[in-house]
Structure 1
Amino acid sequence: MKKKETIVCYCHSCKHDTRHEILFTENMHNSDDDYWWTCDYSITKCCGCGDITFLTETTEEGDIEYDENGNNYIPTKYKTYPFSPQKVAGLSDLWYVPNTISTVYRETIKAFNNDCHLLAATGFRMIIEAVCTENNIQGKTLEVKINNLCKNDIITKHDRDRLHSIRFMGNDSVHQMKVADINALLLVKEIIDIMLKNIYILAKKCSHILEGPITTFEDFCCLLDEGLRTRKIGDTDILKNLLPQDRRLIKEDRSNFEIILKEKIAEGKYTKLSLCPTPLQGKNQQYKVESI
């Protein structure tokens, strides 16, 4: 039997809401004293592309909501098949993210898009746990682990505070069954996306495409060895001039590496250079090339 001639619902072919002709509708309902619900099952045809869609319109007692004036009402929920439109899209470059994290992430986005907001809030908290595990971050509680993520320079202090907010939300969902506001969940999803991009996706993309700065003393030594191969034994010069000029080395890092280099030379652990006599005030330390 036909309920009405047309309805606006999502078309999986047009990828947006369109007007549909209702070809057939069957109603099922329960109206006993314990709990009532009603659902119309319809077969519809898009008035634009002509594709067939299966539509459910459900109203049930437990879905009470409140308007801006505090008045309660029970909305009708619409779902179309083969699928309804996604509320949020997940990250597209998840192959850069470790599998343990990407698995939790995908399931969390799926829960979000299926209106399982308690599970989504818990899932976002679990993603933080998974990031800590992947980075070997120690701590008896997630609170300590988040702090240690910051102490290990994996995230910034601002990121730390935001992750604690997500932890609070996840705890409320797990322990108090408190359903998070949809706008809060959307913001949390954005924070999680940025974290995964910064830690994994952008890091790996940049390493493949962009030349990054020297960040470890081992790489600094390789760079120094490269520069020494262009010099002669017995040459003396300051460190800056002994290094290749076309490589990216941050000035602050070079100063820190030079402190370590002096210690290694004094201990006999780096033998290609020796320290020249202490320079006069205002001059840089000079080094003598001992081998290349």
Structure 2
Amino acid sequence: MPEPAGLRARIPRRLRPRAALILGSNAGRLVLAGLGELVRVQIFDRAMTLAAQAFTSIFPLLISLAALLEPAWRERLASLLRLRGPSEDLLQDALSGSPSNAFGLAGMLIVILSATGLSRALVRAYRVVWTVEHKPAGAAATGRQIGTVLALVVFSLGARLLGWVASLLPAPHVFGVLVSLLADVTLAILLPWLLLGAGAPRGPLLTGGLAFGLMMIGVRAAGAVWLPRALQSSTDRYGTIGLAFTYIGWLYVLSFCLLLSAVIGGMLAGGPAARR
């Protein structure tokens, strides 16, 4: 990342005095450090990798789980996930012609093991963001990776269930936001702790988790408005492939927020940028 002096040399001469004041302030230095961290961790590329891995990991697990259930329970699962319209049709198409006895526990195990690619991508991302030298290996690391994938599936189901419980309380909107905040903070702390174990730095871990939870308040509100319309529009225009790309786009937003919160946690709680 260029130093402030190098940046000033590239700024038009008439704007340099004002730029010098901005870049020389505490806020300016913080912004420069933050931009430098985003470049260092390659946040855009890593977010896309995580989004693609999540799409090919979480969705097959949910579909395989539904395949093991009776039709009545499949409908309850779709209702719990709030699948409507094209999303519910996609689930039914994936399960049509595939009786549950053709997909047993062995098939479920294969899907789980294949889904650990997402866990490995998360390990690489967190190690780069927080400059963690220790690389988990061995059977324990594999167990942590599988546990992470299962935790994501449980979170996908549990978050919806908690949202339903919050809707029954006296102030559903307030409790809904609080429940979602708690769930998001817990997830953002749990993921790196599961993957890195003792190698996860406590300060960035907790600060990043809180940053992710606060960030997701706005993201969830925007997604509640945008995502259903985008899913319907993309399905009407491009069919199933449009639906898939819309989900990947949404997963990219979530992955970007997860990595950005980890960067913020590192900057505010002793990460590499904070030590500069």
Q: TM-score, normalised by structure 2?
A: 0.24
Greater share of residues in helix: 2
Q: TM-score, normalised by structure 1?
A: 0.23
- Higher relative contact order (CA closer than 8 Å, sequence separation 6+): 2
Flag the structure with larger Rg: 1
Greater share of residues in strand: 1
